[in-house]
Amino acid sequence: MAAGKFFVIIGALLTLVSTFFFSFFNAGGSTYGWGIGFILNLTDIMANPGTYVAGETMTVYIVAIVLIVFLISGILQLLGLAARAFAILGSIIVLGMGVVILIAVYGWLPDMTPYASLLVSDPIAPGVFPLDIPLGGVSLGTYLLLGGGVLGLIGGIIGTKDSY
């Protein structure tokens, strides 16, 4: 197996696991920001966008679309096994989302913080799902997400074709 394929597979798996099984941040108490939290909020976001960010209906819709694309970025990375452009595109989306989460949680751009609430929900199984391992202001899921993006990007740049 080519090194690029290996990096893309590991990056995609890290992305999928961090998105759907780990929390990105603790939003206070027993609520967490995570990928499934966004899925659980999606119908409410589309029906009542003004409750998430007051007066920013269209912006909330745009951010929701970006988050939907983010949720499928792990699959895009896996599609990168066939065409490396997908691996690069999926990895850039993942890296961008990881950086945005860091920026929002640490408050470097406070205007982004209300949009982080789109990812927030109660856990499905408290203490187990999502897995929350705090590391500073964010959780392990954010760092795994960034790692998956970096590995997928490296794999996409190297290329996924076997050389003979």
C-beta of residue 47 within 8 angstroms of C-beta of residue 61: no
CA distance 119 to 139: 14
- Give the mean model confidence (pLDDT) for residues 77-86: 90
Give, in order, the Cα–Cα distances in Å from 78 to each of 23, 53, 71: 22, 33, 13
> pLDDT confidence of 108, banded at 50, 70, 90?
confident
**CA 141 – CA 21 distance, rounded (Å):** 8
C-alpha span between 120 and 139 (Å, rounded): 13
pLDDT at 164 over 70: no
Q: How many residues belong to the chain? A: 164
What pLDDT digit, counting tens, does each position of 20-75 carry?
999 998 888 888 888 998 999 899 888 888 888 877 788 889 989 999 999 999 99
In angstroms, the CA 45 to CA 37 distance is 11
Would the pLDDT of 100 be above 60?
A: yes
The secondary structure of the chain in percent helix, strand, coil, rounded to multiples of 5, reads 65, 10, 25
